[in-house]
Structures are given as C-alpha cells and as structure tokens.
Structure 1
C-alpha cells in the first residue's frame, strides 16, 4: 500500500482543480465574460470564501481584480511549500531558487490551464455543433480561449469550415513548455 503516494495524489489534484478555478475567475474578469452563465456563477461561488477576505487587503487595479491573482500566487506558494516540507519531493531551496521555481510553477499551471481549455473547447464544439444546442460550458470555454486563439486565427483563418488555430496554439504552448523546461514542474 502506498498511502503517502495516494494522499499526495489527492492533494495535488485538489490544488490543480482549485488553482484552475481561481485562474478561471481572474481570466473571466479580464475577458469580460458573461457572469450570468451558470459556470461563471459556480466559479464565483467557489472562489468567494477565500477572495472576499483577501479583497479587504488587496484592492483592484484598473477594473482588474488583483485579489484573485494574489490568491492564485499564494495557492501556488502553498503547493510548493507542501512539496518541500510535507512530501519532501522538492529539496529546500534558497529564496532565489524558490522565486524561480515559483515563476516556473505559475507559468506551467497557466499553460496547462490553457491547454486544457483549448482542447476541451475544441472537442465540445464538435459535440455541440452536432446536437445544435446551446451549452454554457462551451460558451465559457470559448470566452476564455478566444484571446489566446485570436492571434492564431489571424495567421491561419478557418479553411473550409475547419479551424486549426486550436491545434496551432496547443503546439505553440507545448513548445514553450519544452523550451523553458516546464515539464514536470509542480
């Protein structure tokens, strides 16, 4: 039995899911997404318990909710601290090494988030197109992915009804992960 490995798995995925929800909250505000969408409402309710007290300390800047960004960074710091001090997966690092690891972990998390969103939006768009129904999940995923996909769509427009910009962007994101050595970063 590998109790510590199973526990680490649960902790890791709990952090990954909540980090994704907090990041989605920040990005939804940046893209001015529809906050009446049921998925947006879920994201708001899931993040409010930690964000509301943080908003008292961290003000918004230029209409951007900085508290959600600060919460995201704090959660990444907590995750890395757990990896170092509880699970002993990472060695104890000096402050400069910790800062670099923090930046790499943030970049890796953001890239993984966009890879998932773009992939899910592409797959679900086929399913929704086949059924012809509106789906709030697809709507939110498209709103999040559109700022990342728009530059690729200018380079390669849809050809014959087939949009390959998601594939181009996903290849570029994976290339960036490889280039900066972000694979395997917690």
Structure 2
C-alpha cells in the first residue's frame, strides 16, 4: 500500500466513522429513552434523517428498538470495511464475512459509546456535579442504564459511587478478551481488526 492509498483510507475512514458514531448514537438514544429535546439529540436526528427516512419506510422499529438506525450502522460499517479491503487488497471478499465483520465493528463501537458516556459522566460529577449542560445530561442518560445493574451489586460507600469502575472493567473485558477471539474465529483481517 502506497502513501496515497493510505491517506485515502485515513480520510474516508475518519469521515465515515464520525458519521457512523452519530448513526449509532441515534440508536443508543432511542434505546436508553434519552430526552430528544436535548440539542445534541436534535443534532443526531437531523444529521441522520436524510439516510434514515427512506429506510424507515421499509424497516419498522421492533420492540421499541430503532432497527433502521442499527441496519444503517451495519451497512455503513460494511461499506467502510469493503473500501479498506478494496484499497488494500484489490478485493473485499464475500458479503457474508463482510457482514459478520461489520456486526463485530458495530458492537465494538456500541461499547465505546457507553465507555465515553461514562467517562464524561464521571468527570462532570467531579468538576460540576449539578451541571445542566446538554452534553453532561446526555452522558448521564446514556450511562445510567449501563451503571444501574452494577449499582444494585456494589454497595454504597458513603456517597462514593464506584459502580463506574466495575462497568469500565466489564466493557474492557469484552473489548479485550471477547471481541478479539470472535474476530479471529470469523477470519477478520488485521487491517479491519485495527478499526474496531
């Protein structure tokens, strides 16, 4: 791979990944029942509406889950992976493997969204505990469903909430010890594994 193709991969991967985060964030927002009057939620809705509107006509929501956003995220991830493989190897392989790799990539990104939301929530709780910043409120709404099971298990230590530590450990275990063996099992190329 020469410098020009490496630069093309970097630019396309960066732009598509940013949009992919917004699409997956829209899925997460509906999943956690976030406040859609939040300006950041409004941004996610407006940014994803052009691509989601035609998909929603065909794919309905199932069980309160925004399946069209999830499908769009998988398709975007698959197209990005196909582009990387095409530029690197001149072929993108078969569609079945590409879809499996895309599902794994979306699962990894899903975990990263919760990871970042918890980091923002923890930092804001230290710096400005009663902040009404839209980003802080959104981070709390995203992180709370992940932290709730840990709060039921971990005892309250006199006002110190250590449940995020256990949630971080759980997410890191999945990212480090569950996803890599799955990626190896389904034959994910190293170039794609670096993306997740």
Q: TM-score, normalised by structure 2?
A: 0.81
Corresponding residue for residue 124 of structure 1 = 124
Instruction: State the alpha-carbon separation in 1 of the partners of residues 164 and 91 from structure 2.
Output: 37
Q: Deviations over 1:74-112 (max 9, x none)?
A: 111111111111x31697434443343223222222122
Give structure 2 stretches of 5+ with no counterpart: 184-192
Alpha carbons of 1:25 and 1:96: their partners in 2 closer, same or farther (altered >3 Å)? closer
Q: What is the deviation of 1:137? A: 0.5
Shift of 1:150: 0.8
SS in 1 for 2:118: helix
Alignment check: 8 A CA contact 1:128 1:134 kept: no
The answer as to whether partners of 1:149 and 1:169 remain within 8 angstroms in 2 is yes
Change (3 A) 1:165 1:98: same
Map residues 55-134 of structure 1 onto 2, 5 A cutoff.
55-85=56-86, 87-88=87-88, 92-129=92-129, 132-134=130-132
TM-aligned CA deviation for residue 54 of structure 1:
1.3
Instruction: Decide whether the 8 Å contact of 2:20 with 2:73 is kept in 1.
Output: yes
SS in 2 for 1:161: coil
Contact 1:108 1:185 in 2 (8 A): no
User: 67-76 or 151-160, which moves further after superposition?
Assistant: 151-160
Q: Alignment partner of 1:56: what SS?
A: helix
Q: Distance in 1 between matches of 2:90 and 2:177?
A: 22
Q: Alpha carbons of 1:94 and 1:53: their partners in 2 closer, same or farther (altered >3 Å)?
A: closer
Moved more, 32-41 or 118-127: 118-127
What runs of 5+ residues in structure 1 fail to find an aligned partner?
none
CA-to-aligned-CA distance 1:36-73 (integer Å, 9 cap, x gap)? 11111111111111111211121222343221111111
Match of 1:136 among 131, 134, 137: 134
RMSD (Å) for aligned C-alpha atoms: 2.3
**3-state SS of the aligned residue for 2:51?**
helix
Runs of 4+ that moved beyond 6 A? none
How far the C-alpha of 1:169 sits from its partner, in A, is 1.0
What is the count of residue pairs matched by the alignment?
183
1:13 Cα offset (Å): 2.2
Kindly indicate whether the alpha-carbon contact (under 8 Å) linking 2:32 and 2:141 is maintained by their aligned counterparts in 1: yes
Whether 1:26 aligns to 2:36 is no
